[in-house]
Structure 1
Amino acid sequence: MPLYLTDDQQMLRDSARSFMAEEGAIAKQLRHWRDRNCKDGFGHALWKQFAEMGFTGILVDEADGGLGLGHVEAGIVMEEIGRNLTPSPFLTTAVAFVAAIRGSGARERWLPGILAGDTVAAIAVDEGRKHRPEAIEAKAERAGNGFRLSGRKSFVVHGGSADVILVAARGDEGLSLFAVEKDAKGLDVAPERLADSSMAATVTLDGVEVDADAVVGEVGGGEAVLARLLDAGRAAAASEAVGLGTAAMDMTVDYLKQRKQFGRLIGEFQALQFRAAHLYSELEIARAATLKAQQMLDEEAGDAELMVSVAKAKAGRAAQLAVQEGVQMHGGIGMTDEYDIGLYMKRDRVLAELFGDPNYHADKVARMKGY
């Protein structure tokens, strides 16, 4: 497919851009909730507005009350979220969780709340300091008509605010995913504030008992569900990184056009022009790779997973370059809280780790290509 948006997708982009710029702006959302030390790190009223705009139903089938759109459209919204550093559970809930439960019985339990903007979901996959989904050790043991879950999960974004936590655990039948409700006995959630002021949690499961209905998909069939979840989450996170990097670049270029040194605008210095042009090129490549990955997911292409990792790696590195160049070109003021550029750097560091950092995905691409 051509690497550009259709007319309908451009209309969605324009709608999302104006909404995020007005309702999801840094001063109105991120700084507001950060300065109040909000336990959730985001505003529930804004999440309700997401639902009113139809954003929470982008990946939900029309038969289930959603818009029946695809990953490209979800990426359009994510890029605008990244531009404005808008704190919300859109990535974990409306993208990753919805992608996991599509076609399963769990959708009847959880989709109505998500579509209404009332339900928040969290993803509990990682167990160490780095994203290693292939190394899941949490246990799922048969217990009566259900299962008993034990283990510890780290970096569970929105874990303390979630109504449901999707837990990956291994049993005798293999890997399975379980939708665990927030008030389950034996579930301990310890919230942690991250570098960008967002909230995650360490989740401990001490003999948490769930019934068979909590299984998402088939028992022992969690590998396919997890792959679907991770592909969706990684592609959407790549879009957020592109949006974040683009906003940081725009902010920096605007500053180059205003700041004077030695009687000249610093944007007139050729060395800085070269760096700005290089950054623009890197971000456009990342945007193209991300759009291609999302198109392939929507087409259910067999090698979509490979392109998703290409996109996550490229977008992560382009966003990192954008925030580093931004802070440096701003000079000393770039490190002050008064200027937003530092907030973009903090979000970049957290986002890079979510669903695998650039090194993880570069290695994955190499292995998938036989190196």
Structure 2
Amino acid sequence: MARNRDDGVTLEQVAADFGIHPMTLSKWMRQTDVDDGVKPGMTSSEAAELREARRRIRLLEQENEVLKRAAAYFAQANLPKMTYPLVRELADDGIPVAVTCRVLGLARQPYYRWLAEPVTTAELDEAYRANALFDAHRDDPEFGYRFLADEARAAGEPMADRTAWRICSARGWWSVFGKKRGGKGRPGPPVHEDLVRRNFTADAPNQLWLSDISEHWTGEGKLYICAVKDVFSNRIVGYSIDSRMKSVLAVRALNNAVARRGDVAGCVLHSDRGSQFRSRKFVHALTRHGMTGSMGRVGAAGDNAAMESFFALLQRNVLDRRSWSTREELRIAIVTWIERTYHRRRRQTGLGRLTPVEYEVIMTPPASQAA
């Protein structure tokens, strides 16, 4: 209608009839002339393609910026990183949240929930628990996570042992006596040389002892036993049973053996590299009794095979026979089997078809028996 208007009718009048601005109508007419090839210039289709190209270039630049910032953010010091603060920083710099979340593979809804509440109640509770565990670990670095959980509960931060383990594991708060964490989880260095080298023989009692720790589940949780075996007669000369595998478990088993056998100065006690046998308490107990420590190699079960064979018998004859509802029930069963069956009724080929008690009575001089 603007092009075919009558003489004397202005563009302003046509624009007013359609309720548009005259300048808008003039632009439409000029652009139509360009699209029709009447006038030189950029056509509408070319302008649309240019806008789309610019949009895609801008989007690629934003995505590249997100990747660069994310790489720099996560390459900082070895500290736990949160992705949502990075999304917020990029949004403040003009990069849309949708672009950042798509590049980083995040959902937007959780981000907006975090933005409304950066610190949740659960995270705050965990921070208080971690603080209580850290204080306990700093005061007593030899404590394991169970002891740390006890200390935290006493300080007013209740939590389950499993929660304490998760928090301590994530932050590397391990007992100084515990096994080395990280990598392949290999035990720490030995505190004694291997004096046995798989030669499990002895000419007399109290020359060579072996020790190890075993565990078994009950309805109340795990039960641990540390046993000490005299290689001369294969007799279990001392043992200790507890619900926790601490260094004191091994120390009590050693003290129990010394109390039964009397003078054991010069005796060699061989074990694996468990943290209980590398602890300062156990090493001091060996020194106090005049004994010499010995340790096998890492990952070599044969270095303590004679002790492992006893626990294999215990596993088959007691632990795996049935399920145990309480620790006390299993403890009584273990003690009964050791003292009645293993020591006095189970004959061993290596002892000439004698029991350990019979072998000691026959092979030990009367003076030594009285001692």
Do the structures match in fold with TM over 0.5?
A: no
Give TM-score scaled by structure 2 length. Answer: 0.22
Q: Which has the higher strand share?
A: 1
Higher-Rg member (1/2): 2
